[in-house]
Amino acid sequence: MTSISISQRARSKEAAAWFQWRTIGPILGRVLHYAVLIWASMFFLFPLAWMIGTSLKSIEEIGQPQLNLLPAVPRWENYVKLLSEESFYRAYLNSAFIVTMVLLGTITSVSLVAFAFSRLEWKGRDVVFALMMGTLMLPYQATLVPQYVMFHHLGWIRTFQPITIPGFFAGGAALVFLLRQFMLGIPKELDEAAMIDGANPLQIWWHIIMPLSRPAVATISVFLFVGQWNNLLQPLIYLQKPELYTMPIYVAQKNNLQESPIPWQDIMAASVLFVIPLLIVFIFTQRFFIESVTLTGTKR
Amino acid sequence: MAAAYRLQNIWWAIGTVIFIIVTSVALGHAARSVAKWRGLSQAEQRKVYWGFMFAGPWIVGFFIFVVGPALASLYYSFTDYKLGEPMDWVGLANYRQFLLGEGAHGRRFTQAMFNSFYYALVGVPLQIVAALGMAMLLNKEMPGIRIFRMIFYLPVILAGGPAILLAWRYMLATNGGFINITLQNFAHSFVLFDYVYRAFIYVVESFNGFYIGLTRGDPIGPLKYTLPAILAVLFIAPAASGDWSHNKKIAARRGAEIIGLIAFFYLASKGLVLDPIDPAWILFGGLIVTLGILVSAHNGRYVAVRTWQYASLSAFGLSLLLTAARPDAAELAGQLIALGAVVALVAGSFLGGWSRTKMVAFGAVAVLLAIGLFVHLIPGQLDGGRLGIIPAYLSFGSTIEHPDDLEYLKEIYPQDTMSAMWFYGLAAAVLFGAVLLDGKHPRARKYLLYGGLIFFALIALSSLLDGIAYFRAFEEIAAAEGKPVYHFSMFRNAIEEFPDSDRLPMWMGSELWSKPALVLITMWSSGSGMLIFLAALKGVPRELYEAAEVDGANAVQKFFKITLPMISPAMFYNVVIGIIAALQTFDTIYILQNTQTESSLRSAAYFLFTRTFRELAIGQGAAVSWILVIITVTLTVFQFRYSSWVYYEA
């Protein structure tokens, strides 16, 4: 008799427990947590959404103050108009060209230098490496002005050279450092075995280290791509000629055309097309960004 | 057309690759020759050869793109170089112009530095709060958290380029912009929100109006002392109220830091004395050096004594030389003599050993210097009349007795206000007492510290009240001081009336709102700070929280007592990076500015850009870039130097 009543009480307690704070608290907390996360995400995503929405509006819809994210009828004509502009193509192609050149030059030279700092042992290595790490402290302004004078004397103003050529000299100590850290983790026995087989360091670099460093190379490629695709300052300084405009200047100067009302739908359409490669790269490689920060503790 | 440029670029790239290969191989050979000459083994030589060859691209680039340009830039910074014009040596004129804010460009630069300072002062803390909030939201293992992390980080990628900034510009439009419409809807939805909205406008406009007035050098009356005083309380309080007993070294360093802070804020309240011969500098420097030598000699650390001697001799000697070379040196004869006396004093300390008599003599000199500094800084303070101000201040009484009397406001008031020295003298006294009582009388020490801080706060509050009285009569005062253009009128307008609900934030339409708009965007894209915080949060041991829970700590306590101290290195890192970024902001300003707000948005980097690449003043641009480099490198070194300290203190 008593035993039954105890078990019954236990069962009723179990049922009642659902309403108890201890059980419902975490669930509620979790729901609240998600709500806050979603609300914050809206704040972070909104400018992007507003950009896309505006790019599909008509100039009349832009003119009247309203809060509709999307227009009643999406106007794809905005994009058609943009795609028929020669200057747009040219800017896109210029950007793609510069990014390719920078990636090619920088990746090759950076991987060579990182190889020297991680896989080779030579007298003076530590001094040179310390020197390189020291340049990390220098802000970009340190050499911006004199480089301009130098490129001016070389006749490189209004050409692509000032932006693409410095990359061939292993520009970016942070990139070298990142790659070096990765290369240090590759087992030493691999090189030693190759060395015994009579391979020289150049062959080791190309046949052994580079294939194994693919993840790190991909990481720095992504950084370089994002940095270069967004690069506004240097093109502004060096590419002051409409034929040479890259996408960032093309988009930025659309804003400076003193038209009234401001054709926001055109500006935003160009912006959307500008952002798409970034978005694609970021969505597939966001892991790299998050890992690299936790790895090196540095921005970019 | 463009295709030709691309082709040309490819040829140049091929040429560059050949150049790099040739120079790298040459470098390798050269290095091997050096190794051979130094008598290294065959194998070592081979290694050196390959090493330098592989590192060749960077080494060659380092000389072409870093060392060479840096030296050239240093040279240009002393000239009036403009592209296409002959170059003339102008000595320190460029630096002088920018550091002292002389001339139109000097003022532009000063304005830029003030803007950057605003981003550091207001933007960075808000950014830190945003980043930490984001990191704490994400620091929980929940399904889908990775997607949120990605979304929170996305703005960093986008904000690097112009596209999304243009979207922000559109959203920030004053009339019909998305943000203003949303804010209006929010305000109209509920009575209370209406007040929140109006209070928001009120606070932003007053604060920015005040900052604008401050940066344009308007007369600020009592606030000249109030502001540095409040800042001093904010900075000194946490440093002074910590535990002093467990480590002498840390205590000494902290004491030095507090003294340094007091000196800095004091000088700031005096308008940062720039003249190397100013008597305040001579006395202050002499006092610091004498104390330093005395303390080191007392502890028997003669190496430190030597360091003090050499460093101070070079500093004072430099100051002496700079001043003697000035055209108006004859007028400064008295001060030159004072400076010479300090030099002689320090030089004299080289002679002979450190006997007890010598130490006593040095102590006497220190006391004399301190009295001299005190008397110099507060003219007429020994006549007894000024002591009556203290009770007036502590009872929140105003010392401005005749706000309508221009003569009073112009002539007497600046002398009659609470002098800053009371403030900092008291700070020093509290500090001294705290150190003396250290360990033996913890309770008395605590009372002394808190009492001193309360005293500070009272004075700060009452001079704030004085400031309000001052601003009521501001226009008359400004006119009386011969400053017809005053920017504090914006501040006055802002505080005079509470805005009604039809008022809109002007964002890019007004200098009152342009900086807050920029801060909003940096908050939106503070994802990289978030990642650093997230990594730091993951590193906090779970056991600490569990132990605290056993002790019955609540969430707030856990945050302030465990989380915040444990992530202090990340915090410190983010603050320094944020300050550096505040100097270097460029893209955001380039996209968002218009003719109306350019001057109120312009950062140091933006000024460098316009002065060098739009106006082609290479010499001045080089000087600006060197100033920026020095600030940035100092901050970075500071960060490296102290990051461990923050951690250990935690």
Q: pLDDT, tens digit, for every residue of B474-494?
A: 777 777 666 666 777 788 788
Interface test with chain B among A44, A268, A272, by most B beta carbons within 10 Å: A44
Chain A positions touching B162 (Cβ under 8 A) are 230, 232, 248, 251-252, 271, 274
Interface residue B139 vs chain A (CB under 8 A): no
Place of tokens 């509920």: B190
pLDDT, tens only, B398-453: 666 666 666 666 655 655 555 555 555 566 666 666 665 666 666 776 777 777 77
- On whether the CB atoms of residues B498 and B202 are closer than 8 A, the answer is yes
pLDDT reported for residue B244: 56
Flag if A144 and B629 touch (Cβ within 8 Å). Answer: no
Task: Domains for chain B: give ranges and CATH numbers.
Answer: 2-70 (no CATH), 94-174+506-649 (1.10.3720.10), 222-480 (no CATH)
Q: Give the pLDDT mean for B320-338.
A: 72
- A69: closest chain B residue by CA: B178
Burial label for B157, CB within 10 Å (0-12, 13-18, 19+), is buried
Distance to chain B for A12, nearest Cα, Å: 30
Q: Give the pLDDT mean for B314-331.
A: 73
Chain A positions touching B83 (Cβ under 8 A) are 149, 152
Flag if A135 and B9 touch (Cβ within 8 Å). Answer: no
User: Which residues make beta-bridge pairs with B225?
Assistant: none
Interface residue A255 vs chain B (CB under 8 A): yes
Confidence of residue A39 (pLDDT cuts 50, 70, 90): very high
Question: Could you say which residues from 45 to 104 on chain A have a Cβ atom under 8 Å away from some Cβ of chain B?
Answer: 45, 47-48, 50-51, 54, 63-67, 90, 93-94, 97, 101, 104
Query: Cis link prior to B57 (omega < 30° from 0)?
Result: no
Confidence of residue A101 (pLDDT cuts 50, 70, 90): very high
- What backbone phi and psi angles, to 5 degrees, belong to B89? -75, 125
Nearest to A244 by CA among A93, A83, A81: A93
Flag if B61 and A236 touch (Cβ within 8 Å). Answer: no
Confidence of residue A299 (pLDDT cuts 50, 70, 90): very low
Reported ipTM: the value is 0.87
Other C-beta atoms within 10 Å of A258: how many?
A: 5
* B155, B185, B531: residue with CB nearest A44: B155
- On whether the CB atoms of residues B505 and B592 are closer than 8 A, the answer is no
Strands (E), chain A: none
Q: Quick one: tokens of A72?
A: 């009643």
* A139, A237, A248: residue with CB nearest B628: A139
Confidence of residue A95 (pLDDT cuts 50, 70, 90): very high
DSSP string, B51-74: HHHHHHHHHHHIIIIIIHHHHHHH
Say yes or no to pLDDT of B13 above 60.
yes
pLDDT reported for residue B382: 46
Q: Distances from the Cα of B375 to the Cαs of B226, B369, B380, in angstroms?
A: 21, 10, 8
* B61, B140, B158: residue with CB nearest A33: B140
- What backbone phi and psi angles, to 5 degrees, belong to A294? -70, -25
Nearest to B227 by CA among B469, B466, B454, B415: B466
Distance to chain B for A233, nearest Cα, Å: 7
- B528: closest chain A residue by CA: A299
- On whether the CB atoms of residues B145 and B151 are closer than 8 A, the answer is no
Whole-angstrom Cα distance, residue A57 to residue A41?
24
Whole-angstrom Cα distance, residue A36 to residue A282?
24
Distance to chain A for B421, nearest Cα, Å: 38
- On whether the CB atoms of residues A266 and A81 are closer than 8 A, the answer is yes
Interface residue A125 vs chain B (CB under 8 A): yes
pLDDT, tens only, A20-33: 666 677 788 888 88
Q: Give the pLDDT mean for A131-156.
A: 87
CA atoms within 13 A on the CB side of A20: 8
- What backbone phi and psi angles, to 5 degrees, belong to B81? -55, 125
Confidence of residue A295 (pLDDT cuts 50, 70, 90): very low
* A41, A117, A139: residue with CB nearest B632: A139
CA atoms within 13 A on the CB side of B24: 25
Query: Cis link prior to A261 (omega < 30° from 0)?
Result: yes
Say yes or no to pLDDT of A91 above 70.
yes
- On whether the CB atoms of residues B81 and B68 are closer than 8 A, the answer is no
With 0.80 as the threshold, say if the pTM is over it: no
- B35: closest chain A residue by CA: A123
* Of residues A1 and B576, more confidently modeled: B576
Whole-angstrom Cα distance, residue A66 to residue B400?
52
pLDDT, tens only, B171-185: 888 887 888 888 888
DSSP string, B91-114: TTHHHHHHHHT-HHHHHHHHHHHH
Mean pLDDT of chain B: 79
Question: Could you say which residues from 158 to 187 on chain B have a Cβ atom under 8 Å away from some Cβ of chain A?
Answer: 158, 160-164, 166-171, 175-176, 178, 181-182, 185
Nearest to A148 by CA among A134, A161, A139: A161
Share of chain B above pLDDT 90, in %: 10
* A117, A152, A171: residue with CB nearest B61: A171
CA atoms within 13 A on the CB side of B412: 11
* A65, A117, A123: residue with CB nearest B35: A123
| Residues B71/B76/B78/B82 CA torsion (nearest 10 deg) | 180
Say yes or no to pLDDT of A90 above 70.
yes
- On whether the CB atoms of residues B463 and B434 are closer than 8 A, the answer is no
Flag if A137 and B632 touch (Cβ within 8 Å). Answer: yes
Chain A positions touching B27 (Cβ under 8 A) are none
Q: Please calculate the CA angle A89-A91-A92 and round it to the nearest 5 degrees.
A: 65
- Highest average pLDDT, of B217-226, B318-327, B541-550, comes from B541-550
pLDDT reported for residue B433: 65
DSSP-assigned letter for residue B222: T
Interface residue B618 vs chain A (CB under 8 A): yes
Q: Give the pLDDT mean for A163-182.
A: 86
pLDDT reported for residue A74: 85
pLDDT reported for residue B406: 67
* A145, A236, A282: residue with CB nearest B621: A145
Confidence of residue A110 (pLDDT cuts 50, 70, 90): very high
Q: Quick one: tokens of B242?
A: 């910590």
Distance to chain A for B54, nearest Cα, Å: 5
Chain A positions touching B154 (Cβ under 8 A) are 44-45, 48, 282
Chain A positions touching B60 (Cβ under 8 A) are 169
Share of chain A above pLDDT 90, in %: 19
Whole-angstrom Cα distance, residue B106 to residue B101?
4
Counting one residue from chain A and one from chain B, the pairs whose CB atoms sit within 8 A come to 314
Q: Which of left, alpha, beta for B603 (phi over 0: left; psi -120 to 50: alpha)?
A: beta
Distance to chain B for A2, nearest Cα, Å: 36
Interface residue A284 vs chain B (CB under 8 A): no
* A125, A243, A293: residue with CB nearest B1: A243
- What backbone phi and psi angles, to 5 degrees, belong to A11? -65, -45
Whole-angstrom Cα distance, residue B60 to residue B63?
5
Flag if B637 and A232 touch (Cβ within 8 Å). Answer: no
* B5, B66, B166: residue with CB nearest A160: B5
Share of chain A above pLDDT 70, in %: 87
Confidence of residue A44 (pLDDT cuts 50, 70, 90): very high
Chain B positions touching A104 (Cβ under 8 A) are 13
Interface residue B136 vs chain A (CB under 8 A): no
Say yes or no to pLDDT of B519 above 90.
yes
* B57, B176, B577: residue with CB nearest A170: B57
- A158: closest chain B residue by CA: B5
With a CB cutoff of 8 Å and minimum separation 6, the contacts of B488 are: B209, B210, B213, B218, B220, B471, B474, B478
pLDDT reported for residue B638: 76
Interface residue B16 vs chain A (CB under 8 A): yes
pLDDT, tens only, A190-228: 888 888 888 888 888 888 888 888 888 988 898 899 989
Confidence of residue B255 (pLDDT cuts 50, 70, 90): low
DSSP string, A150-214: HHHHHT-TTSSHHHHGGGGGT--HHHHHHHHHHHHTS-HHHHHHHHHTT--HHHHIIIIIHHHTH
Lowest mean pLDDT among B75-84, B271-280, B461-470, B546-555: B271-280
pLDDT reported for residue A22: 66
Torsion sign across C-alpha atoms B555, B577, A95, A242: positive
Confidence of residue A140 (pLDDT cuts 50, 70, 90): confident
- What backbone phi and psi angles, to 5 degrees, belong to B457? -60, -40
* Of residues A294 and B622, more confidently modeled: B622
Flag if A278 and B587 touch (Cβ within 8 Å). Answer: no
pLDDT reported for residue B646: 46
